[in-house]
Amino acid sequence: MRWKVHAVGILGVTALLAVACGGSSPSSGAATHSPSPSATGSKVAATNNAKLGQILVDDKGMTLYLFVADTGTASTCYTSCANVWPPLLTDGTPQAGTGVDASLLGTTTRTDGKVEVTYAGHPLYYFVKDKAPGDITGQGINGFGGLWWVVSPAGAAITTKAS
Protein backbone atom coordinates (compact mmCIF):
# COMPACT_ATOMS: atom_id res chain seq x y z
CA MET A 1 0.00 0.00 0.00
CA ARG A 2 2.88 2.40 0.82
CA TRP A 3 4.33 1.93 -2.64
CA LYS A 4 0.98 2.95 -4.18
CA VAL A 5 0.87 6.19 -2.15
CA HIS A 6 4.50 6.87 -3.07
CA ALA A 7 3.82 6.16 -6.77
CA VAL A 8 0.76 8.44 -6.79
CA GLY A 9 2.85 11.21 -5.18
CA ILE A 10 5.59 10.87 -7.79
CA LEU A 11 3.04 10.89 -10.63
CA GLY A 12 1.45 14.05 -9.21
CA VAL A 13 4.79 15.88 -8.97
CA THR A 14 5.73 14.72 -12.48
CA ALA A 15 2.42 15.99 -13.86
CA LEU A 16 2.89 19.38 -12.18
CA LEU A 17 6.41 19.69 -13.56
CA ALA A 18 5.22 18.76 -17.05
CA VAL A 19 2.52 21.42 -16.95
CA ALA A 20 4.86 24.06 -15.53
CA CYS A 21 7.70 23.37 -17.96
CA GLY A 22 5.83 22.25 -21.04
CA GLY A 23 4.22 24.24 -23.79
CA SER A 24 1.42 23.64 -26.17
CA SER A 25 3.75 23.48 -29.14
CA PRO A 26 7.44 22.99 -29.72
CA SER A 27 9.60 26.06 -30.14
CA SER A 28 12.20 26.38 -32.83
CA GLY A 29 14.13 28.85 -30.70
CA ALA A 30 14.01 31.40 -33.52
CA ALA A 31 12.44 34.76 -32.88
CA THR A 32 9.38 35.45 -34.95
CA HIS A 33 7.36 38.58 -35.52
CA SER A 34 4.16 38.10 -33.56
CA PRO A 35 1.94 41.02 -34.34
CA SER A 36 -0.57 42.02 -31.72
CA PRO A 37 -3.32 44.55 -32.06
CA SER A 38 -2.65 48.09 -30.91
CA ALA A 39 -5.12 49.50 -28.40
CA THR A 40 -4.80 52.95 -29.98
CA GLY A 41 -5.04 51.73 -33.55
CA SER A 42 -2.28 50.14 -35.58
CA LYS A 43 -0.05 52.64 -37.37
CA VAL A 44 0.79 52.31 -41.05
CA ALA A 45 3.58 54.41 -42.55
CA ALA A 46 5.63 54.60 -45.74
CA THR A 47 9.37 54.09 -45.83
CA ASN A 48 11.98 53.83 -48.54
CA ASN A 49 13.20 50.37 -49.44
CA ALA A 50 16.45 50.16 -51.44
CA LYS A 51 15.03 47.54 -53.85
CA LEU A 52 11.37 48.54 -54.16
CA GLY A 53 11.19 52.26 -53.40
CA GLN A 54 8.41 53.54 -51.11
CA ILE A 55 6.61 50.71 -49.28
CA LEU A 56 4.09 50.38 -46.45
CA VAL A 57 5.30 49.31 -43.01
CA ASP A 58 3.90 49.10 -39.49
CA ASP A 59 5.07 51.24 -36.57
CA LYS A 60 8.09 48.95 -36.06
CA GLY A 61 9.14 49.18 -39.71
CA MET A 62 7.94 45.68 -40.61
CA THR A 63 6.87 45.31 -44.25
CA LEU A 64 3.17 44.98 -45.10
CA TYR A 65 1.83 42.82 -47.93
CA LEU A 66 -1.40 42.32 -49.85
CA PHE A 67 -2.79 39.02 -51.13
CA VAL A 68 -4.16 39.10 -54.68
CA ALA A 69 -6.60 36.27 -53.90
CA ASP A 70 -8.49 38.48 -51.42
CA THR A 71 -11.80 39.72 -52.78
CA GLY A 72 -12.49 43.34 -51.91
CA THR A 73 -11.81 44.00 -48.24
CA ALA A 74 -12.62 40.40 -47.22
CA SER A 75 -9.63 38.35 -46.13
CA THR A 76 -9.30 34.83 -47.51
CA CYS A 77 -6.17 34.01 -45.46
CA TYR A 78 -6.96 31.89 -42.40
CA THR A 79 -5.54 28.91 -40.46
CA SER A 80 -2.26 27.72 -42.01
CA CYS A 81 -2.20 30.72 -44.35
CA ALA A 82 -2.49 33.15 -41.42
CA ASN A 83 0.34 31.31 -39.64
CA VAL A 84 2.64 32.20 -42.55
CA TRP A 85 1.00 35.54 -43.40
CA PRO A 86 -0.27 37.02 -40.09
CA PRO A 87 -2.82 39.81 -40.57
CA LEU A 88 -2.17 43.34 -39.32
CA LEU A 89 -4.74 43.56 -36.52
CA THR A 90 -6.03 46.59 -34.65
CA ASP A 91 -8.16 47.31 -31.60
CA GLY A 92 -8.78 50.91 -32.63
CA THR A 93 -8.93 53.15 -35.66
CA PRO A 94 -5.82 52.62 -37.82
CA GLN A 95 -3.43 55.57 -37.73
CA ALA A 96 -1.76 57.08 -40.80
CA GLY A 97 1.96 57.63 -40.41
CA THR A 98 4.36 59.51 -42.63
CA GLY A 99 3.64 59.14 -46.35
CA VAL A 100 0.30 57.35 -45.91
CA ASP A 101 -3.06 58.62 -47.16
CA ALA A 102 -5.39 58.37 -44.15
CA SER A 103 -8.42 58.17 -46.46
CA LEU A 104 -7.12 54.83 -47.80
CA LEU A 105 -6.93 53.23 -44.33
CA GLY A 106 -9.82 51.07 -43.20
CA THR A 107 -10.68 47.84 -41.43
CA THR A 108 -12.40 44.55 -42.09
CA THR A 109 -13.74 42.07 -39.56
CA ARG A 110 -12.27 38.59 -39.91
CA THR A 111 -14.33 35.43 -39.42
CA ASP A 112 -12.79 35.04 -35.94
CA GLY A 113 -14.11 38.49 -34.96
CA LYS A 114 -10.69 40.17 -34.99
CA VAL A 115 -10.31 43.44 -36.87
CA GLU A 116 -7.75 43.60 -39.69
CA VAL A 117 -6.34 46.81 -41.15
CA THR A 118 -6.98 47.47 -44.84
CA TYR A 119 -5.33 49.94 -47.20
CA ALA A 120 -6.98 50.99 -50.46
CA GLY A 121 -9.40 48.12 -49.89
CA HIS A 122 -6.70 45.46 -49.42
CA PRO A 123 -6.34 43.55 -46.12
CA LEU A 124 -2.74 43.92 -44.88
CA TYR A 125 -0.42 41.11 -43.79
CA TYR A 126 3.07 40.41 -42.49
CA PHE A 127 5.32 37.60 -43.73
CA VAL A 128 6.59 35.29 -41.00
CA LYS A 129 10.10 35.08 -42.54
CA ASP A 130 10.60 38.85 -42.41
CA LYS A 131 12.73 39.14 -39.27
CA ALA A 132 13.90 42.76 -39.34
CA PRO A 133 12.46 46.11 -40.39
CA GLY A 134 12.67 46.50 -44.16
CA ASP A 135 12.89 42.77 -44.92
CA ILE A 136 10.91 41.93 -48.09
CA THR A 137 11.43 38.16 -48.25
CA GLY A 138 7.73 37.59 -49.03
CA GLN A 139 7.79 39.71 -52.19
CA GLY A 140 6.28 37.88 -55.17
CA ILE A 141 5.68 34.59 -53.38
CA ASN A 142 2.95 32.43 -54.89
CA GLY A 143 1.26 30.59 -52.06
CA PHE A 144 -2.13 29.74 -50.58
CA GLY A 145 -3.85 30.33 -53.90
CA GLY A 146 -2.33 33.60 -55.02
CA LEU A 147 0.56 36.02 -55.20
CA TRP A 148 1.78 38.18 -52.31
CA TRP A 149 3.11 41.67 -52.97
CA VAL A 150 4.48 44.53 -50.92
CA VAL A 151 2.08 47.50 -50.89
CA SER A 152 2.91 50.98 -52.20
CA PRO A 153 1.71 54.19 -50.49
CA ALA A 154 -0.73 54.56 -53.42
CA GLY A 155 -2.33 51.27 -52.30
CA ALA A 156 -1.18 49.23 -55.29
CA ALA A 157 0.79 46.00 -55.35
CA ILE A 158 4.47 46.55 -56.10
CA THR A 159 5.09 43.75 -58.60
CA THR A 160 8.83 44.26 -59.00
CA LYS A 161 10.64 41.09 -57.97
CA ALA A 162 13.15 41.55 -55.15
CA SER A 163 16.38 40.06 -56.45
CA distance 68 to 85: 13
Q: What is the pLDDT of residue 4?
A: 45
Could you write out the three-class secondary structure of 124-160?
A: CECCCCCCCCCCCCCCCCEECCEEEEEECCCCCEECC
- 19 vs 24, 51, 160, CA distance in Å? 10, 47, 48
Number of C-beta neighbours around residue 97 at 10 A? 16
Q: Are 56 and 69 in contact (CB under 8 A)?
A: no
**Mean pLDDT, rounded, for 101-122:** 98
Q: What is the pLDDT of residue 36?
A: 55
User: Residue 96 above 90 pLDDT?
Assistant: yes
Question: 7: pLDDT confidence band, cut at 50, 70 and 90?
Answer: very low
Q: What is the pLDDT of residue 76?
A: 97
User: Residue 47 above 90 pLDDT?
Assistant: yes
Question: 18: pLDDT confidence band, cut at 50, 70 and 90?
Answer: very low
Give residue-wise pLDDT tens across range 122-142. 999 999 999 999 999 999 999
Q: Where are the domains of the chain?
A: 43-158
> What is the phi/psi pair of residue 45, to 5°?
-135, 170
Q: What is the pLDDT of residue 21?
A: 35
pTM for the predicted model, two decimal places = 0.77
Give the range among 16-20, 117-121, 139-143 with minimum mean pLDDT. 16-20
> What is the phi/psi pair of residue 131, to 5°?
-105, -25
